[in-house]
Chains A and B, each alone.
Chain A
Amino acid sequence: MTEKNMPLWEVFIRSRTGLSHRHAGSLHAPDAEMALQNARDVYTRRGEGLSIWVVPSSAITASDPTDKDVMFEPTASKIYRHPTFYEVPDEVGHM
């Protein structure tokens, strides 16, 4: 008898009210409901969360880390997108 591989799930946890869910790790489970139960046991044994999301790992499309320069470097030269680029005298107060 050959065993079927269980799909991989990515686990996201909201640690406190108001915060977005953050990636915690992954696990194997046969379906979404069992993935949620497993995630509870694997990732929230010490009250780490208020809410869990599980997403099939195969549903995630990720950028290629080797593309990071092409993707993100162009913003490095756009210093005018930052507040500190503009001179506002101290007397004017915080802005």
Chain B
Amino acid sequence: MYAQALNTVTEVSKDDPAKLAAFQARIDAEEKIEPNDWMPEGYRKTLVRQISQHAHSEIVGMLPEGNWITRAPSLKRKAALLAKVQDEGGHGLYLYSAAETLGVSREELVDALHSGRAKYSSIFNYPTPSWADMGMIGWLVDGAAIMNQIPLCRTSFGPYARAMIRICKEESFHQRQGYEIVMTLARGTPAQKKMAQDSLNRWWWPALMMFGPSDSASQHSDQNMKWKIKRFSNDALRQKFIDATVPQGHFLGLTFPDPDLKFNEATGHWEHGEIDWAEFNRVVKGEGPCNRERIKARIKAHDEGAWVREAALAHAEKRAARKAAARIAAE
């Protein structure tokens, strides 16, 4: 899954111009920047923000699907969903670790999420009232995430790029299991097909919003493109996603909730209607259907897990003390 482009304007750099030029030359030569290398403060800040938002998205992204693990319709679906949610937890950990190479602590990052200072992908603030939503998340949400994440495998910061390569390898299962769920419903009883269609109607527009504001409104793209943190614009990625996804939906006999959606023979692209950016901004600012619930659930999980962390530390201390005692006894 993917932390969308939510960042605010990159700060004006106060760095040494000679160092900046050398840095840009390395970027232009497609060298990767590693944690111990010199980097502009703005580059570091942008990456901490983007990688941690991405990590938060993975972790919060476990919640909408976690909602259905105990109610999956078969053991097969349950095992697959559990494995998928487990992968998302793992992806969050890869990404937090990549962010930590830039000199921030895990505790700071988690605190930023819990206090509401940090953002995460708007998509996870939508509810999952039906089983079809599990299919739709895999097919659309992970599908959109893959579109975003494939170019991030070549992002200029080494630890982020390497984390993305690992994540992309694991993500393909997510999308396929989602599509298989949707296909099973679409080929099922009329009620099942309706369940799939209702779910598609609810998820289509929020999935398109995952790519972030349209290029004309995106505040930070230029500098991020120059630094090769980002390699394609929000609109270019959104178009790629639409072109790949619309035929997949039509193949299942499903329709998309956009009366303006039409294929342009000349360009070879699907054209879509206007995205409701007012809704996007509302959800990003915390007024989506589930924002409060999601953060509450994360804080609760963190607080209720405190005893596990304490017990692990106590266990480690006990083992260290035993080892020390054994050494003294042997001397």
Interfacial residues, chain A to chain B (CB-CB below 8 A): 17-18, 20, 51, 78, 80-83, 85-89, 91-93, 95
Contacts and interface: CB of A to CB of B under 8 A. Distances in A.
Nearest to B86: A81
A86 B180 contact: yes
A88 B83 contact: no
Contact of A51 (B34, B83, B173, B183): B34
Contacts of B180: 86-88
Interface string B117-150: 0000000000000000000000000010000000
How extensive is the interface on chain B, given as a class?
A: 20 to 34
A87 B182 CA distance: 12
A49 to B, nearest CB: 13
Given A80-B80, A88-B180, A93-B247, A20 B175 contact: no
Contact of A92 (B34, B173, B248): B248
Contacts of A87: 180
The 9 nearest A-B residue pairs measured at CB:
A86-B176, A18-B32, A83-B172, A83-B173, A86-B180, A80-B80, A17-B32, A17-B31, A81-B83
B176 A89 contact: no
Interface string B75-111: 0100110010001000000000000000000000000
Interface of B: 30-32, 34, 76, 79-80, 83, 87, 143, 158, 161-162, 172-173, 175-177, 179-180, 183, 244, 247-248, 251
A80 B83 contact: yes
| B interface secondary structure, majority | helix
11 contacts: A80-B83, A80-B173, A80-B177, A81-B87, A86-B176, A86-B179, A88-B179, A88-B180, A93-B247, A95-B143, A95-B175
Contacts of B30: 17
A82 B79 CA distance: 12
B162 A78 contact: no
B173 A82 contact: yes
A57 B144 CA distance: 43
B161 A95 contact: no
A89 B251 contact: yes
A87 B31 CA distance: 39
A92 B32 CA distance: 35
Contact of B173 (A18, A81, A93): A81
Given A17-B31, A18-B32, A80-B79, A95 B176 contact: yes
Contacts of B158: 17-18
A87 B179 CA distance: 9
Nearest to B78: A80
A92 B83 contact: no
A32 to B, nearest CB: 14
Given A80-B79, A80-B80, A88 B176 contact: yes
A28 B162 CA distance: 30
Given A88-B180, A95-B172, 16 more contacts: A17-B30, A17-B31, A18-B161, A20-B162, A51-B34, A80-B80, A80-B173, A85-B173, A85-B177, A87-B180, A88-B176, A92-B247, A92-B248, A95-B143, A95-B176, A95-B248
B158 to A, nearest CB: 6
